[in-house]
A and B are shown apart, each in its own frame.
Chain A
Amino acid sequence: MTSLLNRLFGRAKKGSGATAKNRLHFVLQHDRINLPPQRMEEMKREILAVIVKYLVVDEDRVEIALEQRDRAHSKLVAEIPFAKEKQIQMELRTEATAGESPGAKSNGAGTAPIAAEEEDRSEKTSGDSKDGATVAEVDDATAPGADAEAKDKDKK
Chain B
Amino acid sequence: MAGKVVTISSGKGGVGKTTATANLGISLASLGRKVVVIDADIGLRNLDVIMGLENRIVYDLVDIVEGRSKLRQSMIKHKKFENLYLIPAAQTRDKMSVSPADMVKLTDELRDAHDFILIDSPAGIERGFRNALEPADEVLIVTNPEVSAVRDADRITGLIEAAEKGPGRLILNRLKPDLVKKGEMLSSDDVIDILGLSIIGIIPEDELVLSASNSGVPVTLNTDSKAGMAFNNVARRLTGEDVPFMNLDDEPGFFRRLARLIEAW
Binds B, one of A26-34, A116-124, A142-150: A26-34
Does any Cβ of A come within 8 Å of B158's Cβ? yes
CB-based contact B151/A17 at 8 Å: no
CB-based contact B183/A13 at 8 Å: yes
Number of interface residues of A (CB under 8 A): 24
Residue of A nearest to B260 (CB): A7
Does any Cβ of B come within 8 Å of A20's Cβ? yes
CB-based contact A21/B257 at 8 Å: no
Q: B229 to nearest A CB, angstroms?
A: 24
User: How far apart sit A6 and B196, CA to CA, in the bound complex (Å)?
Assistant: 24
**Chain A 40-73 interface mask (CB, 8 Å, partner B; 1/0):** 0000000000000000000000000000011100
User: How far apart sit A17 and B193, CA to CA, in the bound complex (Å)?
Assistant: 14
B158, B161, B251 — most chain A CB neighbours (10 Å): B158
User: How far apart sit A14 and B183, CA to CA, in the bound complex (Å)?
Assistant: 6
Residue of A nearest to B185 (CB): A17
CB-based contact B183/A15 at 8 Å: yes
CB-based contact B184/A15 at 8 Å: yes
CB-based contact B251/A10 at 8 Å: yes
CB-based contact A17/B186 at 8 Å: yes
User: How far apart sit A83 and B154, CA to CA, in the bound complex (Å)?
Assistant: 41
Q: From residue 230 to 265 of chain B, which have CB atoms closer than 8 A to chain A?
A: 251-252, 254, 257-258, 261
CB-based contact B183/A8 at 8 Å: no
User: How far apart sit A8 and B252, CA to CA, in the bound complex (Å)?
Assistant: 11
User: How far apart sit A69 and B186, CA to CA, in the bound complex (Å)?
Assistant: 19
Query: What is the interface of chain B, defined by CB distance below 8 A to chain A?
Result: 146-147, 150-151, 154-155, 157-158, 161, 179-187, 190, 193-194, 196, 251-252, 254, 257-258, 261
Name 14 interchain pairs, CB-CB below 8 A, sorted by A: A8-B254, A9-B254, A9-B257, A10-B251, A10-B252, A10-B257, A17-B187, A20-B185, A20-B190, A24-B147, A24-B150, A24-B194, A28-B154, A70-B196
Q: A17-B187, A32-B154, A71-B157 are in contact. List 10 more A-B contacts (CB 8 A).
A: A7-B257, A15-B182, A17-B186, A20-B147, A20-B190, A21-B186, A24-B186, A25-B194, A28-B154, A31-B155
